[in-house]
Structure 1
């Protein structure tokens, strides 16, 4: 029987952030992952402190950035990889009225650090932007695929990873311990994204799930080193490659790319990108979304050593390190969870 402090299910952004809390505090753990959940690995990976549809601040943006960016810098060093790409994000204006709303928003104290007050004029003949752009500050992109592939390799090398599906029926409860197959742990953390829908212990939590699809295009003439947000995002990856996304589908719960989403993205892209390109990749994943747009963090209402770390929605890159620390402090130091993220806000 192998003794560990924590058994973790899932190996996406939430799990990685929590594992880093455990490593920081010298806790032993094992991770179970069967690669069934795709949302973290196919994510666009933007960290953007502004909701660009409404020109409003992302929930706890400053706290999230202060927690997440140092973690990704540490992971780059520990894993000897490059994952954090600082990136200008330019919001394409549709009218003079939108310009005025942008500059009005930039006067608000909570948005002032993130919204440039300089109108950016369009100088690229392959982009249609007659009203110019507003620039988001302190933004960038995390290469989530590179992170997850390398982190799982690190876990495997150190015997922290079991690459098999987790069988909920094999969980046994002992006094202050969880037994699962040949492991005994003090705590069991479910960080399985939309896969929690199959979890009998947390089947009551309101994960709705939103399918997102992203295209990768090759556009040799576009030549931009900044992201453009219009009706879709265009995100530079280097070597004339760009991600285009994303869609939102609350009905389809499969990871299969669809022709309808592809056509939707291409139709929107062609309204403002005016050069030739070819589609070279198309991926899909189910985001773990919640109706009140807040994470689901905390302890099971009955089993006191079962926990959930989920509901990161569309902003997992920023939220994961923030909520992982909150959950760790809750378990280890009995710190109170904020009501707005506590999973038990939905327990009647």
Structure 2
């Protein structure tokens, strides 16, 4: 089956074009280089093929020869340009909720990649994933995505918000003064990921424009728009809600009524949808807890007790019983287990190197990261 080409919403592409026009680049030249439609500005919700957007970045990179171009484009952007996604971020109850909102509804801007958020004991990593060759155009596009992500968070949390570090997978450009001035922290190139790292406590900050009621309304609007782009199952939506709750500052398992409210439906309707898809809320909670337990226990910076509490267990004894059921091992035996591809791992038959193999017959959970 041929997969459709990833796309970028036209208003994002128009912002790049507008900035290039101010730099003296001719519009007709950009249209030829990137095969852009003439009606770009007239239909800001239109979806533009990713190949054309990457060609545009490539053309601008060669024409302007300015390594700070992606930073300047990001600086010129406003969070209001993101429409419902931007307003949902602005009204989020916490910076953590704002980050999760962009990770969940990022496909409204582009379905060419995804944002993922992971937390350790002291840091939170906000990473941008897009599996394409690191050509000039792709590198410039990735830098803009990361820089604009920080710009939006600064609009929410304050201009003084500073990452611990910023990382990019590609090699360093010849001139990096613009990067250093904007990010105001170490910028590391040739890194394993594209993204930002912050102190974990920064995510607990409450933005001045926080409004939970309005945020929930905007999230429901974003959810409806996302489903128009790529309808997904109720199972995936519930999985994501469980992951979000377990990843929050308080941790713990969300109740079915709470998840139903977050998805804009009733408990009874949600049960019916999940039953029609051959699963249940209890089954999904167990799947997600198992997946997160395997991931968290590989991190030696977080204690077994902290993992148990984050996953909503009353004590380590209950958590130990769950690990025996899931993996056939006690939590302490899973500490530092190598991840996929690590040397020295001894996988079970049929598993990937370093994978924690469930002891039951459940399918492995598919925790959805929207935008993939």
TM-score between both structures, scaled by the size of structure 2: 0.28
When you count helix as a share of all residues, which structure comes out higher? 2
When you count strand as a share of all residues, which structure comes out higher? 1
Instruction: Kindly indicate whether structure 1 or structure 2 has the higher relative contact order, using CA contacts under 8 Å at least 6 residues apart.
Output: 1
